Structure 1
């Protein structure tokens, strides 16, 4: 039976992205990083995002878990246990991904980008701060929806801080957002009463 070659346009559509197109994406992301990083020259902006970054190291989330236990007894303890479980899974996953991908941080790859705070480790992908913040926020809001006014702006600030401070690319943050969301939602299978307690 005769075979027919695909038209040239169809072949182009099914061809994986070329190195040239990937290079354009990398350069574009680098420009975004440089523009965001320039905001760090503003002392108020730098101080805000540095503070957010420090809180996102764990202090904010430890305080939240402690407050849940103190203010809401057993339900707070269940919520804190859920957060701790998700946090441990997030830590193992993002450390493994960083060792595997070994992506240099923006400030290490581009001399025009400055690290406004010291990084916690060497590699960039994915953003551990963002991964934890997104996962913790989804889980915490399953128990305490009234905390949305606090947790959503804080998590958004954590995500922005990673790029402004020169520590992550936007793709690191986007990937971490997706991974954190999947982990948090998947964890509901282990804690099926999270959304109906109270």
Structure 2
């Protein structure tokens, strides 16, 4: 028996699917679609792993502490994210509205809530804003493109992305409160 998503998602799906469909129409522009795919792939982990590994060159004080803090924060975030995703079971827009929304990138699983890509993008931007603010002019546009890509590629609803952003903000704030 397939797990059932909460009824609130049924209502949200109906509200959001048209917006997802309209955003997805932009994918007919090949450069836009290529940019979305690239942002999605970068947000999958490569940029964040590079950011963690670059801490000896980025952090002015205690780079080992930053590596540990960023890694531990990301690890805890992924555990909580997975628990939420597998318990709430909101199907991806391209599954629910398969005739109206096209998926232009392979999905790892069936469920969309919350967006893990967006969660990590926001989390690392907030952490970086405190430890290396000079990187933000590069990271903020990337984080925005990652969030947009998740909806544009048909993988997430807008509310999935917003929830992922809020989770990322919360994990970063908690990490900074504990570890500075």
Asked whether the two chains share a fold, i.e. TM above 0.5, the reply is yes
Equivalent residues of 1:79, 1:140 under 8 A apart: no
Superposition deviation, residue 123 in structure 1 = 0.5
Superposition deviation, residue 59 in structure 1 = 0.5
Question: Counterpart in 2 of 1:138?
Answer: 126
Superposition deviation, residue 80 in structure 1 = 2.0
Higher relative CO (Cα under 8 Å, sequence separation at least 6) belongs to 2
Residue from 140, 156, 172 that aligns with 2:144: 156
Superposition deviation, residue 179 in structure 1 = 1.2
Question: Counterpart in 2 of 1:41?
Answer: 28
Question: Counterpart in 2 of 1:57?
Answer: 44
What are the Cα deviations for residues 42-66 of structure 1, in whole angstroms up to 9, with x where unaligned?
A: 1111100101101111001111122
What are the Cα deviations for residues 76-116 of structure 1, in whole angstroms up to 9, with x where unaligned?
A: 33222211111001100110001111000000011211111
Superposition deviation, residue 69 in structure 1 = 2.1
- Aligned CA RMSD, in angstroms, stands at 1.9
Q: TM-score, normalized by length of structure 1?
A: 0.81
Question: Counterpart in 2 of 1:5?
Answer: none
Matched residues in 2 for 1:37 and 1:167: separation?
A: 10
Equivalent residues of 2:24, 2:101 under 8 A apart: yes
* Structure 1 runs not aligned, ≥5 long: 1-20, 193-198
Evaluate the alpha carbon distance shift between residue 31 and residue 54 of structure 1 in structure 2; reply closer, same or farther with a 3 A threshold. same
Q: TM-score, normalized by length of structure 2?
A: 0.88
Residue from 68, 73, 79 that aligns with 1:92: 79
Evaluate the alpha carbon distance shift between residue 35 and residue 68 of structure 1 in structure 2; reply closer, same or farther with a 3 A threshold. same
- Tell me how many residue pairs correspond in the alignment: 172
Question: Counterpart in 2 of 1:9?
Answer: none
Question: Counterpart in 2 of 1:114?
Answer: 102
Equivalent residues of 2:58, 2:132 under 8 A apart: no
Equivalent residues of 2:123, 2:169 under 8 A apart: yes
Superposition deviation, residue 74 in structure 1 = 5.6
Matched residues in 2 for 1:73 and 1:182: separation?
A: 25
Is the radius of gyration larger for structure 1 or structure 2? 1
